[in-house]
Structure 1
Protein backbone atom coordinates (compact mmCIF):
# COMPACT_ATOMS: atom_id res chain seq x y z
CA UNK A 1 0.00 0.00 0.00
CA UNK A 2 1.41 3.39 -0.91
CA UNK A 3 0.75 6.95 0.17
CA UNK A 4 1.60 9.73 -2.29
CA UNK A 5 2.79 13.15 -1.14
CA UNK A 6 4.06 15.96 -3.40
CA UNK A 7 5.63 17.70 -0.86
CA UNK A 8 13.03 15.60 3.29
CA UNK A 9 22.15 14.67 6.07
CA UNK A 10 21.70 11.55 7.07
CA UNK A 11 21.91 10.25 10.65
CA UNK A 12 22.67 6.70 11.66
CA UNK A 13 21.67 7.19 15.30
CA UNK A 14 18.16 6.86 16.69
CA UNK A 15 16.01 9.96 17.01
CA UNK A 16 14.54 10.87 20.44
CA UNK A 17 11.21 11.92 18.93
CA UNK A 18 10.72 8.38 17.61
CA UNK A 19 11.87 6.42 20.65
CA UNK A 20 8.69 5.35 22.45
CA UNK A 21 8.74 1.65 23.32
CA UNK A 22 5.91 -0.68 22.33
CA UNK A 23 4.48 -3.04 24.95
CA UNK A 24 6.57 -5.91 23.57
CA UNK A 25 9.74 -3.78 23.53
CA UNK A 26 9.09 -2.78 27.13
CA UNK A 27 8.72 -6.44 28.15
CA UNK A 28 11.93 -7.39 26.38
CA UNK A 29 13.75 -4.48 28.02
CA UNK A 30 12.41 -5.55 31.45
CA UNK A 31 13.60 -9.12 30.84
CA UNK A 32 17.04 -7.86 29.81
CA UNK A 33 17.21 -5.78 33.00
CA UNK A 34 16.22 -8.75 35.17
CA UNK A 35 18.78 -11.06 33.57
CA UNK A 36 21.45 -8.39 33.91
CA UNK A 37 20.67 -7.80 37.59
CA UNK A 38 20.98 -11.55 38.24
CA UNK A 39 24.34 -11.57 36.52
CA UNK A 40 23.16 -13.89 33.75
CA UNK A 41 23.71 -11.39 30.96
CA UNK A 42 26.39 -8.76 30.42
CA UNK A 43 24.39 -5.70 29.40
CA UNK A 44 27.28 -4.00 27.63
CA UNK A 45 28.02 -7.12 25.61
CA UNK A 46 24.37 -7.68 24.79
CA UNK A 47 23.92 -4.09 23.66
CA UNK A 48 27.02 -4.32 21.48
CA UNK A 49 25.73 -7.47 19.77
CA UNK A 50 22.27 -6.00 19.19
CA UNK A 51 23.69 -2.73 17.85
CA UNK A 52 26.09 -4.52 15.52
CA UNK A 53 23.35 -6.71 14.07
CA UNK A 54 20.97 -3.74 13.81
CA UNK A 55 23.39 -1.37 12.09
CA UNK A 56 26.13 -3.48 10.49
CA UNK A 57 25.57 -7.20 9.91
CA UNK A 58 21.92 -7.08 8.85
CA UNK A 59 21.98 -3.91 6.73
CA UNK A 60 25.15 -5.08 4.99
CA UNK A 61 23.11 -7.82 3.30
CA UNK A 62 20.76 -5.24 1.83
CA UNK A 63 23.70 -3.05 0.89
CA UNK A 64 25.14 -5.88 -1.19
CA UNK A 65 21.80 -6.24 -2.99
CA UNK A 66 21.75 -2.51 -3.75
CA UNK A 67 25.37 -2.47 -4.91
CA UNK A 68 24.74 -5.37 -7.30
CA UNK A 69 21.66 -3.61 -8.67
CA UNK A 70 23.81 -0.53 -9.32
CA UNK A 71 26.45 -2.47 -11.24
CA UNK A 72 24.56 -5.29 -12.96
CA UNK A 73 21.71 -4.19 -15.28
CA UNK A 74 20.31 -7.72 -15.58
CA UNK A 75 20.25 -8.17 -11.83
CA UNK A 76 18.64 -4.75 -11.44
CA UNK A 77 15.85 -5.72 -13.83
CA UNK A 78 15.39 -9.02 -12.00
CA UNK A 79 15.28 -7.30 -8.61
CA UNK A 80 12.45 -4.97 -9.63
CA UNK A 81 10.55 -7.78 -11.37
CA UNK A 82 10.98 -10.50 -8.73
CA UNK A 83 12.70 -9.23 -5.61
CA UNK A 84 12.26 -12.49 -3.69
CA UNK A 85 14.15 -14.53 -6.28
CA UNK A 86 16.83 -11.89 -6.88
CA UNK A 87 17.54 -11.47 -3.17
CA UNK A 88 17.46 -15.23 -2.57
CA UNK A 89 20.10 -15.68 -5.29
CA UNK A 90 22.53 -13.82 -3.02
CA UNK A 91 21.64 -16.00 -0.04
CA UNK A 92 19.72 -13.41 1.96
CA UNK A 93 16.58 -15.35 2.86
CA UNK A 94 14.72 -16.20 6.03
CA UNK A 95 11.68 -15.39 8.12
CA UNK A 96 10.42 -11.82 7.86
CA UNK A 97 12.04 -11.62 4.44
CA UNK A 98 9.26 -13.12 2.36
CA UNK A 99 7.17 -11.26 -0.22
CA UNK A 100 9.76 -8.58 -0.94
CA UNK A 101 9.26 -5.65 -3.31
CA UNK A 102 12.13 -3.40 -4.42
CA UNK A 103 11.39 0.33 -4.77
CA UNK A 104 13.51 2.54 -7.00
CA UNK A 105 14.42 6.03 -5.84
CA UNK A 106 14.91 8.54 -8.65
CA UNK A 107 15.30 12.28 -8.95
CA UNK A 108 11.53 12.44 -9.54
CA UNK A 109 10.35 10.08 -6.79
CA UNK A 110 11.60 9.31 -3.28
CA UNK A 111 10.23 6.23 -1.53
CA UNK A 112 9.87 5.72 2.22
CA UNK A 113 8.77 2.63 4.15
CA UNK A 114 6.71 2.30 7.33
CA UNK A 115 4.59 -0.31 9.04
CA UNK A 116 1.58 1.59 10.38
CA UNK A 117 0.08 -1.36 12.29
CA UNK A 118 3.13 -2.90 13.97
CA UNK A 119 6.75 -3.20 12.83
CA UNK A 120 6.90 -5.46 9.77
CA UNK A 121 10.48 -5.23 8.52
CA UNK A 122 12.72 -7.27 6.16
CA UNK A 123 15.12 -8.75 8.70
CA UNK A 124 17.23 -10.86 6.27
CA UNK A 125 18.30 -7.75 4.32
CA UNK A 126 18.14 -4.99 6.95
CA UNK A 127 18.79 -6.74 10.25
CA UNK A 128 16.91 -5.69 13.38
CA UNK A 129 14.45 -2.81 13.00
CA UNK A 130 15.66 0.37 14.70
CA UNK A 131 13.70 1.61 17.73
CA UNK A 132 12.42 4.67 15.87
CA UNK A 133 10.92 2.51 13.10
CA UNK A 134 8.65 0.82 15.66
CA UNK A 135 7.64 4.00 17.47
CA UNK A 136 4.09 5.39 17.21
CA UNK A 137 5.54 8.81 16.38
CA UNK A 138 7.27 7.63 13.21
CA UNK A 139 4.44 5.33 12.17
CA UNK A 140 1.86 8.08 12.34
CA UNK A 141 3.84 11.13 11.22
CA UNK A 142 5.47 9.60 8.14
CA UNK A 143 2.05 8.98 6.55
CA UNK A 144 0.73 12.53 7.04
CA UNK A 145 3.98 14.50 6.88
CA UNK A 146 6.75 12.52 5.16
CA UNK A 147 8.68 15.66 4.28
CA UNK A 148 8.67 16.63 7.93
CA UNK A 149 9.99 13.21 8.94
CA UNK A 150 12.78 13.52 6.39
CA UNK A 151 13.64 16.90 7.87
CA UNK A 152 13.86 15.24 11.30
CA UNK A 153 16.51 12.97 9.78
CA UNK A 154 18.30 15.92 8.23
CA UNK A 155 17.18 15.13 4.68
CA UNK A 156 16.01 17.87 2.30
CA UNK A 157 14.59 17.11 -1.14
CA UNK A 158 13.53 19.49 -3.93
CA UNK A 159 9.93 20.64 -3.72
CA UNK A 160 9.06 18.99 -7.02
CA UNK A 161 10.26 15.57 -5.87
CA UNK A 162 7.31 13.26 -5.23
CA UNK A 163 7.48 11.41 -1.92
CA UNK A 164 5.67 8.08 -1.73
CA UNK A 165 5.18 6.21 1.53
CA UNK A 166 4.74 2.43 1.39
CA UNK A 167 3.01 0.55 4.21
CA UNK A 168 4.78 -2.73 4.98
CA UNK A 169 2.67 -5.69 6.11
CA UNK A 170 3.02 -9.41 6.77
CA UNK A 171 2.10 -9.93 3.10
CA UNK A 172 4.63 -7.52 1.59
CA UNK A 173 7.87 -5.93 2.73
CA UNK A 174 9.93 -3.33 0.92
CA UNK A 175 13.56 -2.55 0.14
CA UNK A 176 14.33 0.95 -1.11
CA UNK A 177 17.06 1.04 -3.75
CA UNK A 178 18.61 4.51 -3.35
CA UNK A 179 20.14 6.44 -6.21
CA UNK A 180 23.78 5.69 -6.92
CA UNK A 181 25.84 8.74 -5.94
CA UNK A 182 28.05 10.63 -8.34
CA UNK A 183 31.76 9.83 -8.47
CA UNK A 184 31.43 6.07 -7.98
CA UNK A 185 31.91 4.76 -11.52
CA UNK A 186 35.23 3.08 -10.74
CA UNK A 187 34.18 1.45 -7.48
CA UNK A 188 33.64 -2.29 -6.96
CA UNK A 189 30.43 -3.79 -5.62
CA UNK A 190 32.09 -4.27 -2.24
CA UNK A 191 33.18 -0.63 -2.11
CA UNK A 192 29.75 0.55 -3.19
CA UNK A 193 28.08 -1.57 -0.51
CA UNK A 194 30.07 0.29 2.12
CA UNK A 195 28.32 3.50 1.07
CA UNK A 196 24.81 2.11 1.49
CA UNK A 197 23.19 2.78 4.86
CA UNK A 198 20.28 1.19 6.63
CA UNK A 199 18.35 4.48 6.60
CA UNK A 200 18.81 4.88 2.84
CA UNK A 201 17.18 1.46 2.33
CA UNK A 202 14.20 2.50 4.46
CA UNK A 203 14.01 5.88 2.75
CA UNK A 204 14.83 8.10 5.71
CA UNK A 205 18.38 8.77 4.54
CA UNK A 206 20.41 9.62 1.46
CA UNK A 207 23.76 8.30 0.31
CA UNK A 208 26.60 10.76 0.24
CA UNK A 209 29.11 10.77 -2.60
CA UNK A 210 32.45 9.34 -1.49
CA UNK A 211 35.32 11.71 -0.80
CA UNK A 212 38.62 11.33 -2.63
CA UNK A 213 40.24 10.03 0.57
CA UNK A 214 37.55 7.39 1.01
CA UNK A 215 38.10 5.85 -2.41
Structure 2
Protein backbone atom coordinates (compact mmCIF):
# COMPACT_ATOMS: atom_id res chain seq x y z
CA UNK A 1 0.00 0.00 0.00
CA UNK A 2 2.96 2.34 0.52
CA UNK A 3 3.81 2.38 -3.19
CA UNK A 4 0.16 2.89 -4.06
CA UNK A 5 -0.05 5.84 -1.64
CA UNK A 6 3.09 7.36 -3.16
CA UNK A 7 1.67 6.99 -6.69
CA UNK A 8 -1.54 8.72 -5.56
CA UNK A 9 0.45 11.48 -3.85
CA UNK A 10 2.56 12.11 -6.99
CA UNK A 11 -0.55 12.16 -9.18
CA UNK A 12 0.55 9.15 -11.23
CA UNK A 13 -2.62 7.25 -10.31
CA UNK A 14 -5.97 8.09 -8.80
CA UNK A 15 -8.11 5.89 -6.57
CA UNK A 16 -10.90 5.73 -9.22
CA UNK A 17 -8.37 4.60 -11.87
CA UNK A 18 -7.23 1.77 -9.62
CA UNK A 19 -10.81 0.74 -8.83
CA UNK A 20 -11.76 0.88 -12.53
CA UNK A 21 -8.80 -1.33 -13.38
CA UNK A 22 -9.73 -3.85 -10.69
CA UNK A 23 -13.37 -3.87 -11.82
CA UNK A 24 -12.31 -4.35 -15.43
CA UNK A 25 -10.09 -7.34 -14.61
CA UNK A 26 -12.91 -8.89 -12.58
CA UNK A 27 -15.04 -8.94 -15.75
CA UNK A 28 -12.50 -11.23 -17.44
CA UNK A 29 -13.48 -14.87 -17.25
CA UNK A 30 -13.06 -18.18 -19.04
CA UNK A 31 -16.17 -17.28 -21.06
CA UNK A 32 -13.86 -15.21 -23.30
CA UNK A 33 -11.77 -18.29 -24.07
CA UNK A 34 -14.96 -20.31 -24.55
CA UNK A 35 -16.14 -17.81 -27.19
CA UNK A 36 -12.87 -18.20 -29.07
CA UNK A 37 -13.16 -22.00 -28.98
CA UNK A 38 -16.83 -22.07 -30.02
CA UNK A 39 -16.14 -19.78 -32.99
CA UNK A 40 -13.16 -21.95 -34.01
CA UNK A 41 -15.37 -25.06 -33.86
CA UNK A 42 -17.94 -23.35 -36.11
CA UNK A 43 -15.62 -21.55 -38.52
CA UNK A 44 -12.55 -23.25 -40.03
CA UNK A 45 -11.07 -19.94 -41.18
CA UNK A 46 -11.35 -18.52 -37.67
CA UNK A 47 -9.70 -21.66 -36.28
CA UNK A 48 -6.77 -21.12 -38.65
CA UNK A 49 -6.47 -17.50 -37.48
CA UNK A 50 -6.73 -18.53 -33.81
CA UNK A 51 -3.90 -21.03 -34.23
CA UNK A 52 -1.68 -18.70 -36.27
CA UNK A 53 -2.38 -15.35 -34.55
CA UNK A 54 -4.42 -15.77 -31.39
CA UNK A 55 -4.31 -12.07 -30.50
CA UNK A 56 -5.79 -11.09 -33.86
CA UNK A 57 -8.49 -13.74 -33.46
CA UNK A 58 -9.36 -12.46 -29.99
CA UNK A 59 -9.56 -8.88 -31.24
CA UNK A 60 -11.85 -10.02 -34.05
CA UNK A 61 -14.35 -11.12 -31.36
CA UNK A 62 -13.92 -7.90 -29.39
CA UNK A 63 -11.71 -9.53 -26.74
CA UNK A 64 -8.64 -7.43 -26.00
CA UNK A 65 -5.69 -9.67 -25.06
CA UNK A 66 -3.97 -6.48 -23.80
CA UNK A 67 -0.89 -8.21 -22.33
CA UNK A 68 2.33 -7.71 -24.30
CA UNK A 69 3.23 -11.41 -23.96
CA UNK A 70 2.76 -13.61 -26.99
CA UNK A 71 -0.56 -15.50 -26.85
CA UNK A 72 -0.48 -18.97 -28.40
CA UNK A 73 -3.36 -21.40 -28.81
CA UNK A 74 -2.46 -25.08 -29.09
CA UNK A 75 -4.91 -27.58 -30.59
CA UNK A 76 -5.90 -30.93 -29.14
CA UNK A 77 -6.33 -33.69 -31.73
CA UNK A 78 -7.14 -37.38 -31.62
CA UNK A 79 -3.39 -38.02 -31.28
CA UNK A 80 -2.24 -35.08 -29.12
CA UNK A 81 -3.52 -33.61 -25.86
CA UNK A 82 -2.07 -30.32 -24.59
CA UNK A 83 -1.63 -29.26 -20.98
CA UNK A 84 -0.69 -25.77 -19.80
CA UNK A 85 1.41 -24.94 -16.74
CA UNK A 86 3.69 -22.18 -15.53
CA UNK A 87 6.53 -23.89 -13.71
CA UNK A 88 8.05 -20.68 -12.31
CA UNK A 89 5.04 -18.81 -10.95
CA UNK A 90 1.53 -18.53 -12.35
CA UNK A 91 1.76 -16.91 -15.81
CA UNK A 92 -1.74 -17.16 -17.24
CA UNK A 93 -3.64 -15.36 -20.03
CA UNK A 94 -5.68 -13.31 -17.53
CA UNK A 95 -7.11 -10.95 -20.13
CA UNK A 96 -8.62 -13.97 -21.90
CA UNK A 97 -9.36 -16.39 -19.03
CA UNK A 98 -9.60 -14.14 -15.96
CA UNK A 99 -7.80 -14.90 -12.73
CA UNK A 100 -6.02 -18.24 -12.55
CA UNK A 101 -7.51 -20.82 -10.20
CA UNK A 102 -5.66 -21.45 -6.94
CA UNK A 103 -4.66 -24.96 -8.01
CA UNK A 104 -2.95 -23.56 -11.13
CA UNK A 105 -0.75 -21.37 -8.92
CA UNK A 106 0.06 -24.14 -6.45
CA UNK A 107 3.56 -25.57 -6.22
CA UNK A 108 2.10 -29.07 -6.42
CA UNK A 109 0.41 -28.47 -9.80
CA UNK A 110 3.38 -26.55 -11.21
CA UNK A 111 5.82 -29.32 -10.37
CA UNK A 112 3.66 -32.36 -11.06
CA UNK A 113 2.14 -31.22 -14.37
CA UNK A 114 5.56 -31.50 -15.99
CA UNK A 115 6.65 -34.77 -14.33
CA UNK A 116 3.37 -36.68 -14.34
CA UNK A 117 0.80 -34.89 -16.52
CA UNK A 118 -1.43 -37.95 -16.93
CA UNK A 119 -1.72 -38.40 -13.17
CA UNK A 120 -2.62 -34.72 -12.74
CA UNK A 121 -5.30 -34.92 -15.45
CA UNK A 122 -6.68 -38.10 -13.89
CA UNK A 123 -7.19 -36.16 -10.64
CA UNK A 124 -9.33 -33.70 -12.62
CA UNK A 125 -11.45 -36.57 -13.96
CA UNK A 126 -9.83 -36.95 -17.37
CA UNK A 127 -7.53 -39.62 -18.69
CA UNK A 128 -6.22 -39.32 -22.25
CA UNK A 129 -6.47 -42.66 -24.05
CA UNK A 130 -3.34 -44.78 -24.42
CA UNK A 131 -1.41 -43.75 -27.49
CA UNK A 132 -2.37 -40.08 -27.18
CA UNK A 133 0.74 -37.95 -26.81
CA UNK A 134 0.57 -35.41 -23.96
CA UNK A 135 2.41 -32.15 -24.63
CA UNK A 136 3.05 -29.85 -21.67
CA UNK A 137 3.47 -26.16 -22.48
CA UNK A 138 5.24 -23.91 -19.97
CA UNK A 139 3.78 -20.40 -19.86
CA UNK A 140 6.28 -17.65 -19.17
CA UNK A 141 6.37 -13.88 -18.84
CA UNK A 142 6.88 -13.80 -22.63
CA UNK A 143 4.41 -16.47 -23.80
CA UNK A 144 0.92 -17.39 -22.55
CA UNK A 145 -0.95 -20.46 -23.78
CA UNK A 146 -4.52 -21.64 -24.14
CA UNK A 147 -5.80 -25.01 -25.36
CA UNK A 148 -8.22 -25.39 -28.26
CA UNK A 149 -10.03 -28.55 -27.13
CA UNK A 150 -11.53 -31.03 -29.55
CA UNK A 151 -15.20 -30.49 -30.27
CA UNK A 152 -17.26 -33.10 -28.41
CA UNK A 153 -19.07 -35.66 -30.56
CA UNK A 154 -22.80 -35.15 -30.96
CA UNK A 155 -22.60 -31.34 -31.00
CA UNK A 156 -22.94 -30.86 -34.76
CA UNK A 157 -26.41 -29.29 -34.44
CA UNK A 158 -25.43 -26.87 -31.66
CA UNK A 159 -25.01 -23.16 -32.21
CA UNK A 160 -22.05 -21.07 -31.12
CA UNK A 161 -23.57 -20.00 -27.79
CA UNK A 162 -24.50 -23.57 -26.90
CA UNK A 163 -21.00 -24.75 -27.78
CA UNK A 164 -19.40 -22.02 -25.67
CA UNK A 165 -21.31 -23.31 -22.64
CA UNK A 166 -19.58 -26.69 -23.02
CA UNK A 167 -16.11 -25.15 -22.70
CA UNK A 168 -14.70 -24.87 -19.18
CA UNK A 169 -11.67 -23.16 -17.72
CA UNK A 170 -10.23 -26.62 -17.05
CA UNK A 171 -10.56 -27.59 -20.73
CA UNK A 172 -8.85 -24.33 -21.78
CA UNK A 173 -5.85 -25.28 -19.62
CA UNK A 174 -5.99 -28.93 -20.68
CA UNK A 175 -6.62 -30.68 -17.37
CA UNK A 176 -10.01 -31.81 -18.70
CA UNK A 177 -12.10 -31.75 -21.87
CA UNK A 178 -15.52 -30.31 -22.76
CA UNK A 179 -18.41 -32.73 -22.53
TM over 0.5: yes
Aligned to 1:69: 40
Matched, 1:194 2:165: yes
Secondary structure at the counterpart of residue 194 of structure 1: helix
Tell me the distance in 2 between the aligned counterparts of 1:194 and 1:140: 30
**What's the TM-score once normalised by structure 1's chain length?**
0.69
Aligned equivalent of 2:101 = 130
Q: Residue in 2 aligned with 1:181?
A: 152
Aligned-residue CA RMSD (Å): 1.6
Distance 1:76 1:94 in 2: 17
Runs (5+) with no aligned partner, structure 2 = 1-22
Shift of 1:89: 1.3
**Structure-1 residue corresponding to 2:58:** 87
1:105 maps to 2:76: yes
Give the number of aligned pairs.
155
CA distance in 2, matches of 1:154, 1:129: 19
Q: Which residue of 2 aligns with 1:156?
A: 127
Residues 58 and 127 of structure 1 are in contact (CA less than 8 Å); yes or no, is this contact kept in structure 2?
yes
Q: CA deviation at 1:98?
A: 3.8
Q: CA deviation at 1:97?
A: 6.9
Contact residue 84 and residue 98 of structure 1 kept, 8 A: no
CA distance, structure 2, for counterparts of residue 133 and residue 65 of structure 1: 21
Report what 1:24 is aligned to.
none
Contact 1:62 1:126 in 2 (8 A): yes
- 1:194 to 1:97, Cα distance in 2 relative to 1, 3 A: farther
After TM superposition, give the deviation of residue 95 of structure 1 in Å. 4.1
What is the rounded CA distance, in whole Å, between the counterparts of 1:110 and 1:165 in structure 2? Answer: 9
Q: Distance in 2 between matches of 1:76 and 1:195?
A: 17
Q: Distance in 2 between matches of 1:205 and 1:136?
A: 19
TM-score (structure 2 length as normaliser) = 0.82
Q: Work out which structure has the larger RCO, using CA pairs closer than 8 Å and 6 or more positions apart in sequence.
A: 1
